[in-house]
Structure 1
Amino acid sequence: MPDATSTGVTHRRVMLKISGEALMGDQGYGLHPPTVARIAQEVKSVHDLGVEICMVIGGGNIFRGLQGSAQGMERATADYMGMLATVMNALAMQAALESLNVFTRVISAIPMDQVCEPYIRRRAVRHLEKKRVVVFAAGTGNPYFTTDTAATLRANEMGCEAVFKGTKVDGVYDKDPKKFPDARRYDRVTYDEVLEKNLGVMDATAIALARDNNLPIIVFSLDEPGGFRGILAGKGTYTRVQD
């Protein structure tokens, strides 16, 4: 396994945040195995550069707490159900990565020892040092917090140099580029601009946590083949969120 510094990549340790919906492919629900396999291949291509990678995957392809709450379910219960959905997604990603011979650990904020490890910060850091991909599941372990916030929290705890937010578009726009042809993409935007203009990069808690710790957020298209690896090599199209 090469060292990241010897391969010319821009970051040594990163957090990759993707939504649960990213695993659906063209389906309207659940997991699409070819899509999971494609994303796993993207992760492997970066891992092969010697970059230490941790991940947080949302659960919206299976259950979204806010939607459950909107339909009359108690918010805390709905959020816990959403957390369990993220564990299912994390296990699917682990299986896909290990089929590519990438050692992977799923670490859950809600203890469930039969299927994954409990969250212990120093143990998680050690996994990264051993070049294992670490997938953090079950959010922060608390209701009312999104997986965006969980990704920013864990990235800070792990000493990541940036959060890479994989989306369906190649950066942050002033409005939805799929609806408005004149939408303008930002090459760089500050945390405060994201909050003031409600640009929808991540929720406000995640952005504030990144700002307070000067943690850059790189927004890029997960649908672009080789995009994740390209950005780490200093190429590609993306938006950088940082002061």
Structure 2
Amino acid sequence: MKYNRILLKLSGESLMGNVQYGIDPERLNQYAAEIKAVVEEGIEVAIVIGGGNIYRGVQAEESGIERVQGDYMGMLATVINGMALQSALERIGLFTRLMSGIKMEQVCEPFIRRRAIRHLEKGRIVIFGAGIGNPYFTTDSTASLRAIEIQADVVLKGTRVDGVYTADPEKDPSATRYSTLTFREAYEKNLNIMDMTAFTLCQENGLPVIVFDMNKPGNLLKILKGEKYGTLIQ
């Protein structure tokens, strides 16, 4: 395997699958099966999942809710998604731990870096919920920070397209996919891969990012076996 410890970043919207809102059980079970295939190869897996299928903090001002309050609402949405993914993973025999940036002992552990690393070393899947516990930070930033803290080898950003394109491939049929990019090229081309904070954290700490299509079965395992798939930013 090319990587030993990974951080998988999933968007909340990806969990909607074929439904208009919330969580699609079929998509949830598909993701759980993909993750199980990776864990069975001995890979240590940490996961950060967004909450956009339930609530996005950036929507706060549009609805008249204060931005900080809206961000906390978004963080709670990520915990709901984390609990759903945890349940799906445990249903197929995997061991998990849900860790939160906001204390809520009844449903998850508080994030403690050394404890998270120990869980990974014991073969448990660690799901990070509630962002970093502070407003104004996206789940992309959370993924980058947590990956650095747990000394992950790579951030794998699962999306619904198979990499980074010159334009939106769903709108522009002439768009072409990049196989590799540097962080500087991504900045200069203004490619909306991750927010600037997340990107800067990865760049300054030498942490590569791979953008790939998580919805196609087998893609996650292919990347970990070293197959050139998706777009590598390093």
Indicate the residue corresponding to 1:68 in structure 2.
60
Query: Does structure 1 residue 123 correspond to structure 2 residue 118?
Result: no
Q: CA deviation at 1:200?
A: 1.0
- CA RMSD in angstroms, aligned pairs only: 0.8
Q: Deviations over 1:64-109 (max 9, x none)?
A: 0101222221000000000000000000000000011110000000
Is the 1:16–1:165 Cα contact (8 Å) retained in structure 2?
Answer: yes
- Structure 1 unaligned regions, length at least 5: 1-8
**Partner of 2:11 in structure 1?**
19
Q: For the residues of structure 1 that align with 2:135 and 2:56, how far apart are their CA atoms? A: 12
Taking every aligned residue pair, what percent have the same amino acid on both sides?
A: 53
Aligned partners of 1:173 and 1:186 also within 8 Å: yes
- What do residues 210-235 of structure 1 show as CA deviations (whole Å, max 9, x unaligned)? 00001000110011111000111122
What's 1:132 paired with? 124
1:44 to 36, 47, 68: 36
Q: Residue 182 of structure 1 corresponds to which residue in structure 2?
A: 174
TM-superposition CA deviations, 1:110-163 (whole Å, max 9, x none): 000000000111000000000000000000100000000000000000000000
**What is the match of residue 183 of structure 2?**
191
The count of residues paired between Structure 1 and Structure 2 equals 234
Alignment equivalent of 2:74, drawn from 82, 86, 99: 82
Q: Are 2:99 and 1:110 aligned?
A: no
| Superposition TM-score, scaled by structure 1 size | 0.95
Q: Deviations over 1:188-243 (max 9, x none)?
A: 0011221222211111110011000010001100111110001111225210000x
Q: Which amino acid aligns with 2:37?
A: S
TM-score, normalised via structure 2 length: 0.98
1:234 paired to 2:231:
no
Q: Counterpart amino acid of 1:203?
A: D
Give the stretch that moved more between structures: 168-177 or 68-77.
68-77
- Partner Cα separation in structure 1 for residue 34 and residue 228 of structure 2: 14
- Bigger CA drift: 54-63 or 230-239? 230-239
* Alpha-carbon distance in structure 2 between the residues aligned to 1:148 and 1:195: 16
In structure 2, C-alpha distance between the alignment counterparts of 1:198 and 1:85, rounded to whole Å: 29
SS in 1 for 2:173: coil
Letter in 2 for 1:130: K
